[in-house]
Structure 1
């Protein structure tokens, strides 16, 4: 009878605890006798790891040691040293990202908690962080209605149901939607800037005088104050600049009569890492989600961003940091920018 399951040979850099837990289940599933467990373990580690064990037990050989001795030596040598207080500091500061789903946030909370050695307080700490880590919003307010004794499984179910209900609302059908907005200008006794339509600033130094109108395509004013007839039925809401803030907008399709046009994509390179990003000539900054950074660019250390971002609905977003992209390619052109 063939053995049940397969164990990938351990090599340095793998999670040694997961390896030992799996090999223990392998022994049980295949009724491996205690007298054969040492030999089986030594066959399931690569040559480099075996040489490390051999040097640790010199002048004895690993085959002459007990399974418990080998297991302890593997954990001692290959388990990374962890500062649990540092892990707990990261856990306490964790906040759910805007683009993170409820289920992904729950998984991340449990993964972080597992590294903190909370012991018998594990489930309570997970429950507290899962609820308090939500940003202010309808899901957070709904969870706050529940008693402290509510089980984490029930809280998760409530959050998932609320998230599903919000996503099914008609106004959320389109992921990328531009709202048609009309703003009325002040009466004739108030002098308004011809570039942005706002009062109370130096019109000659208005930062929007170099912007390209989204309505007529001309440079020198925003669509908000455009006097030309629009060539299409889309308008873009430009928001008033505030001190220390950079406006970021999401372009959406809200007019059904407009044919969809695939976005232009550019290839961004950081070292040997590559990422395709959508090109937006009117964007104030180039952004990626925290999850994308962790999955692709986590090897690159971030620098302080020193700014805050404001979405089209006025919500303030604090970037984790910034990083120089040394080569962005579009057609035959290359450029370096901050991400």
Structure 2
């Protein structure tokens, strides 16, 4: 049983040199004798490639030639030796593209160097083109600063710096996301503070039982320009606005749990958790008023009057 499998050769797209290299290793692994190499090649190379081989060998026949002769005949036809100057020009013009890593770029340079006939200048040519063709200016400047830089050292430094740049970009991206999330959380936590409208150091008045009272003057001040007065000036029959209001305690645009008025007792229903202007009972009356029974202005003006806070 043979080891491995060699498929047919595609004369339109495959590299004949690579195909021959694979075939030679196939002969070694499976112990194919020299006299059997040509019959094996003719058997597996495919009908189209065999027809090409017959035409190239005319008036002779492929079976009368050696494996090396057949390989050379097809190579000269499919892959004629290119101009050395032209191949070197292509090599010098090749730069790293935006989608290539340094490893991929070097692999391309090595493949192109096969037809450049650099000889003993191969290592220096690869080093020069790596440094000159690399896309990162930072890495190029670092390589310029090195003394006695050979190709192996240039390749090692370039790959390590490329990896470091990617790692730094990843860390910076995570840090930016964490900072944005922390800032947003800080704003959310601090949001109720500016809505309180209390002057620093001001202490609320207390009634006889020790509960804090919301004074009428404070309610009037909120109605004159404070943010807390906005819900009192709305039409409570407007369902869309009531759905937008987040706080069920005062009607402000924040969470109820963060609102200080959640500890106040409603003067209308004597229940804990909201101001009089957010009382569900009054909301129902206002909604009825919007359809027929008009709510009096005095009731709207008294929304901010005294409520009790449970300490």
Give the structure-2-normalised TM-score. Answer: 0.51
Task: Identify which range, 84-93 or 27-36, moves more after superposition.
Answer: 84-93
Q: Is the 8 A contact 1:84 1:115 kept in 2?
A: yes
State how far apart, in whole Å, the 1-side matches of 2:81 and 2:128 are: 27
What is residue 94 of structure 2 aligned with on the other side? 94
Q: Is the 8 A contact 1:95 1:133 kept in 2?
A: yes
Alignment pair present for 1:6 and 2:1: no
What is residue 166 of structure 1 aligned with on the other side? 165
What is residue 194 of structure 2 aligned with on the other side? none
Structure 1 residues 147 and 5, CA gap change in structure 2 (3 angstroms): farther
Describe how 1:288-299 pairs up with structure 2 within 5 A. Answer: none
Describe how 1:167-246 pairs up with structure 2 within 5 A. Answer: 167-169=166-168, 173-174=172-173
> CA offsets per residue over residues 43-63 of structure 1, 9 Å max, x none?
121112212222233343211
Structure 1 residues 41 and 174, CA gap change in structure 2 (3 angstroms): same
What is residue 307 of structure 1 aligned with on the other side? none
Could you tell me which runs of 5 or more consecutive residues in structure 1 were left unpaired when the two chains were aligned.
181-339
What is residue 49 of structure 1 aligned with on the other side? 49
SS in 2 for 1:103: helix
Q: Is the 8 A contact 2:16 2:78 kept in 1?
A: yes
What is residue 302 of structure 2 aligned with on the other side? none
Q: Is the 8 A contact 1:94 1:133 kept in 2?
A: yes
What is residue 75 of structure 1 aligned with on the other side? 75
Instruction: Give the drift of 1:11.
Output: 2.4
Describe how 1:306-321 pairs up with structure 2 within 5 A. Answer: none
> CA offsets per residue over residues 116-137 of structure 1, 9 Å max, x none?
2222322221111111212462
- Name the one with the larger helix percent: 2
What is residue 199 of structure 1 aligned with on the other side? none
Instruction: Give the drift of 1:174.
Output: 4.3
What is residue 297 of structure 1 aligned with on the other side? none
Q: Is the 8 A contact 1:10 1:46 kept in 2?
A: yes
Instruction: Give the drift of 1:152.
Output: 2.2
What is residue 147 of structure 2 aligned with on the other side? 147
State how far apart, in whole Å, the 1-side matches of 2:76 and 2:169 are: 56
Alignment pair present for 1:137 and 2:137: yes
What is residue 17 of structure 2 aligned with on the other side? 17
Instruction: Give the drift of 1:170.
Output: 5.1
SS in 2 for 1:128: helix
What is residue 187 of structure 2 aligned with on the other side? none
State how far apart, in whole Å, the 1-side matches of 2:42 and 2:137 are: 54
- Count of residue pairs brought into register by the alignment: 176
Instruction: Give the drift of 1:39.
Output: 0.4
Describe how 1:240-259 pairs up with structure 2 within 5 A. Answer: none
Q: Is the 8 A contact 2:17 2:75 kept in 1?
A: yes
What is residue 84 of structure 1 aligned with on the other side? 84
State how far apart, in whole Å, the 2-side matches of 1:108 and 1:96 are: 9
> CA offsets per residue over residues 207-263 of structure 1, 9 Å max, x none?
xxxxxxxxxxxxxxxxxxxxxxxxxxxxxxxxxxxxxxxxxxxxxxxxxxxxxxxxx
Q: Is the 8 A contact 1:167 1:173 kept in 2?
A: no
SS in 2 for 1:107: helix
State how far apart, in whole Å, the 1-side matches of 2:70 and 2:90 are: 33
State how far apart, in whole Å, the 1-side matches of 2:114 and 2:171 are: 35
> CA offsets per residue over residues 171-203 of structure 1, 9 Å max, x none?
87449x9xx9xxxxxxxxxxxxxxxxxxxxxxx
State how far apart, in whole Å, the 1-side matches of 2:171 and 2:113 are: 33
Provide the alpha-carbon RMSD of the alignment: 2.7
SS in 2 for 1:168: helix
What is residue 124 of structure 1 aligned with on the other side? 124
Could you tell me which runs of 5 or more consecutive residues in structure 2 were left unpaired when the two chains were aligned.
181-311
